[in-house]
Amino acid sequence: MLRAGLSGPIWIRSLVLLCSLFDVVRVSLNMNLGRFPNWIKLFYIRVLLFQFGAISNPMYAQQRHLNRQATRFWYFGLPSRMRRHYQSAMLARNGIPMVAGGATIVGSRTGLFWKQAPGQLPSIVNANYFSGNVFFVDSNALATGTTSSYGMHPDKAIADVESAEALCTASQGDVIFVLPGHSETITDETTMDSAGISVLGLGQGSARPQFTQAVAGDCFALDAANVVLDNLYFNEATTAPASGGATIDINAANCKVSNCHFDIGSTNLESITITGDGDGAEIVGCTFVVTANGADAAIEIEAIVTEVLIHNCRFFGGTDTNGWDTGAINSGVAQTQCEVVGNRFTYGPAIIFTAAATGMIAYNLMGEGTLASMLDPGSCMCFENYEADAVDQSGRLIPTTVAS
């Protein structure tokens, strides 16, 4: 702070100098600011904001203070009736008419809210997107735990996702941020049974939060409606799943899995399963990579559902040997109004539906499989799907019969 230069009234310079000395002592003792009492943290932040934030020039701040003093002196010198007229005129000029003794706010307001966490540094929350509570999960945080005294700030995070989910309140827009570098081995099914919560991973590529399945059941079970999993990285399972076990099991309506990565080893039979309660499930922007032989399907529709949407995903079967055994997207049931749009597939069968399945399959690309065997649309309408089995050739339309 000292390098920024000190100017302005003596009280401003004294406060900045005091905070600078506090920084020197804190750094030399390797003490994190988040561990200090709340009043010290707030005092420190307010001094920083005053000196270097919105009021960057102390001399300007002093002049504003003098101007406010002069305005107050003039205002309170007016008769009370004149003061009321002055208030109305100022409110009308700014587009805020007085109604019922108060004011009606006109125009947009920021969605950013300052959220104070007891005993910790505050955080800024965007209420336009996250209207409920916000929790932070990070296995590498300075302090971690599993109780309600953790998770309100990244420096004092919750150790695992399921402990954070237990603190959420259903249907109020609670969100769990999982920080980059978080690593978690799932030895007991992580159950998401609070409706309307979102688990959002932060980071890019392999820096995304990583989860390793070491349980015979499901790794994540979405058992409540409107749950979102986004930007998570799932490694190869280290424990063979029992019958029906998957990386993610969608067992409630209108759940969404987006931008997640799945490495699929020899013990991963299905990455995502959708049960009969999974109406309206959406899977978007995900990547499925087979790394060893054994995968049956990336997405398995297990029971009759409606309005499942799978779009803009990538399915890499790896090799002819390792590719999908039944189909990257597979269904042996008569699901209805299903849409599979804009996906890319390599190696093995791509989309395999039972004859009675209905919906739409459009704009998918399929390669390195057996011609005429990569797509079985059931009773779905098809638009602009292409397949190819060799390099240096253009893909052909599948189904090959064109509507007339």
| Span 9-24, pLDDT tens digits | 676 677 777 777 777 7
Tell me the one-letter amino acid at 217.
Answer: G
Q: Looking at the predicted structure, is the pLDDT value of residue 151 above 90?
A: no
Gap between the Cα atoms of 167 and 175, Å rounded: 11
What percent of the chain has a predicted confidence (pLDDT) above 70? 74
- 219: three-class secondary structure by DSSP: coil
By the 10 Å C-beta count (0-12 exposed, 13-18 middle, 19+ buried), 219 is classed as buried
pLDDT of residue 2: 42
pLDDT of residue 47: 67
Q: Which of 314, 324, 322, 318 is nearest to 376 (CA)?
A: 324
pLDDT of residue 281: 98
Q: Looking at the predicted structure, is the pLDDT value of residue 106 above 90?
A: no
Q: Is-contact 174 205, C-beta < 8 A?
A: no
What percent of the chain has a predicted confidence (pLDDT) above 90? 55
What integer is the mean pLDDT of 55-69?
A: 57
Report yes or no on whether pTM surpasses 0.75.
no
- Residue labelled with tokens 């919906």: 359
Which CATH architecture fits 180-397? 3 Solenoid (2.160)
Q: Where are the domains of the chain?
A: 2-98, 180-397
| Span 281-313, pLDDT tens digits | 999 999 999 999 988 999 999 999 999 999 999
Mean pLDDT of the chain: 82
The b/e string for 316-340 (b: 16+ C-beta within 10 A; e otherwise) is bbbeeebbbebbbbbbebbbbbbbb
Mean pLDDT is lowest, of 18-22, 51-55, 119-123, for: 51-55
Averaging pLDDT over each range in 11-25, 27-41, 45-59, 163-177, which range is the top one?
A: 163-177
Tell me the one-letter amino acid at 100.
Answer: A
pLDDT of residue 314: 98
Tell me the one-letter amino acid at 201.
Answer: G
